[in-house]
Amino acid sequence: MTTNAPANALDYNARSRAFKIFSAIVLAIFAIIWIIPLVFALDTSLKPEGEIAAHPTSWWSSHFSFHAYTEVVKGTPIMTWYLNSLIIAVLTVIITLVVCSMIGFALAQTRFSGRITVFGFVLAGLLIPGSILVLPLYQIVHEMHLLNTYWAMALPAVSAPVAVFIFESFFSGLPRELIEAARIDGASWFGIYWRVCLPLCRPAMAAVAIFTFVGSWNNFLWPLLCMSNVDQMTIPVGMATVAGGFGILYAQVMATAVLGALPLFVVFLLFQRHIVQGIAGTGIK
């Protein structure tokens, strides 16, 4: 994706070289602006509280330490929130992958009666701004007695038409002959889906898995409502809700912010290419 030729193509023109340098400088300036908040947050989190009070905007400290981090880990249930976020995200990803790839396959490769209706029906779902409907959704999940369980988070997230269409378009790209050959070999439709097609659609699975994971991990309003018990909270909600006694202890606040962001940074570093492609893939939304 990054090593394609267009940049070179522009070299055909001499004036473009000056423009290239200009581009690099402007980008560098903005890149620096963009990382300052992160670096300063990290910097503050490593300073002793006393030094922050005395020199709040100073970048240097003679006593950098992880003290604030140990205080946060000791003083708040942040480890429990990590675990909750992780389990919820993993549950959501697994169910979403299974459920959405099944219907994606059905829409792409089987010709069942009513398929067009179902297709249009799911397509209409792309238009529904679901996040606005938290209030009625809360009432429904309440009546289902799922509040304060992981299922309150995981199950509603599965109704993601975007994921369906990512799978649908991927399965559509598979050659029809492949399926017909499997049919002749006597494979069942489920067998074709599970053993023939699903293993071929790793990129689609990766894209859906990653944006489902990120979406689940960073969801805020819904878990704010449905995970009201402190022990059931996710990372973003727990951090925002529990004062934890650190009123104006900036190092601890920044340490919390850094800890909250850390896991997804790691995920992002590991899966950068997949994430970026996955986001580009959601262009259909």
Partner 1 sequence: MTDNSVQRRTQPHPSPTRRTIVGAGLGAAAAELLSGCGSPVATGLFGLAPPSDKLTYWNLFSGGDGANMAKMEKVYERSHPSIDLSATTLSWGTPYYTKLALATAGGAPPDVGIVHLSRLDTFVEAGLLTPFPADELTAFGMPATNFTPRAAQKATVDGQLHAIPLDTHPFVMYYNIPVCRKAGLLDADDNLKPIHGPAELTAALLAAKKVTGHYGGVVAVIGDPATNLRYFSTLYYQAGGTYIADAGQKITIDNDKAAQVLTFMRNLTKSGLMPATINDAGVLSLFSTGKAGFLFDGEWDIPTYRATPLNGKFNVVPIPHIFGPKPVAYADSHSFVIPRNSAMDKNRRAMVLTFIKTMLENSLIWAGGGHVPAWTPVRDSAAFKALKPQANYVAAAETAMYDPPAWYSGAGSDFENIIGAAVANSQSGVSSASSAVGQMWSGLRPYADAKAPVG
Partner 2 sequence: MATTVIDDGLPVAVPDSGSPLRTQRSGENRAGWLLSAPFIVFYLIFLIGPALYGILMSFFNTTSVKSGLGAAVGLANYREVLTSSAFWGSMGHTLWFTVLTTPPLVILAFVFAILAERIRRGRALVRFIFFAPFVMPVTSVTMIFGWLFTAQIGLFPKWLSDIGISPPNFLGTTGWSFITVALLTVWWTVGFNFVLFLAGLQEIPTEVYEAAAIDGSTPRKTMWSITMPLLRPTIVLVTMLQILASLQIFNQMYLMTGGGPGTSTRPVMEFIYDYGFSDYRAGYAAAATMVYFVIVLVVSLVWFVLRRQTRKTVGA
- DSSP track, 4-39: -SHHHHGGGSTHHHHHHHHHHHHHHHHHHHHHHHHH
The residues of the shown chain that bind partner 1, judged by CB under 8 A, are 77, 80, 83-84, 86-88, 90, 142, 145-151, 225-226, 228-232, 241-245, 247, 266, 270-271
* Under 8 Å between Cβ of 155 and 222: no
37 binding partner (options partner 1, partner 2, none; Cβ < 5 to 8 Å by kind): partner 2
Binder among 69, 82, 150, 165 for partner 2 (CB under 8 A): 165
- According to DSSP, residue 89 is labeled H
Question: Please, is 189 exposed, middle or buried when counting C-beta atoms within 10 Å of its C-beta (0-12, 13-18, 19+)?
Answer: middle
Under the criterion CB under 8 A, does residue 175 sit at the interface with partner 2? no
Give least dist CB 206 to partner 1, A.
11
Question: Residue 87 or residue 174: which is nearer to partner 1 going by CB?
Answer: 87
CA dist 33 and 38 (Å) reads 10
Residue with tokens 């297709």: 119
Give least dist CB 268 to partner 2, A.
5
- According to DSSP, residue 113 is labeled T
Question: Residue 67 or residue 123: which is nearer to partner 2 going by CB?
Answer: 123
CA dist 238 and 182 (Å) reads 50
Give least dist CB 51 to partner 1, A.
20
Binder among 63, 110, 231, 245 for partner 2 (CB under 8 A): 110
61 binding partner (options partner 2, partner 1, none; Cβ < 5 to 8 Å by kind): none
268 binding partner (options partner 1, partner 2, none; Cβ < 5 to 8 Å by kind): partner 2
Under the criterion CB under 8 A, does residue 35 sit at the interface with partner 2? yes
CA dist 207 and 213 (Å) reads 10
Task: Mark 208-238 as b/e (b = at least 16 C-beta within 10 Å).
Answer: bbbbbbbbbbebeebbbbbbeeeebbbbbbb
Under the criterion CB under 8 A, does residue 83 sit at the interface with partner 2? no
16 binding partner (options partner 2, partner 1, none; Cβ < 5 to 8 Å by kind): partner 2
Under the criterion CB under 8 A, does residue 181 sit at the interface with partner 2? no
Binder among 147, 189, 200, 230 for partner 2 (CB under 8 A): 189
CA dist 79 and 285 (Å) reads 34
Site residues for partner 2, 14-33, by CB under 8 A, read 15-16, 19-20, 23-24, 26-27, 30-31
Question: Residue 67 or residue 268: which is nearer to partner 2 going by CB?
Answer: 268
Taking the CA atoms of 251, 252, 258 and 263 in sequence, report the sign of the dihedral they define.
positive
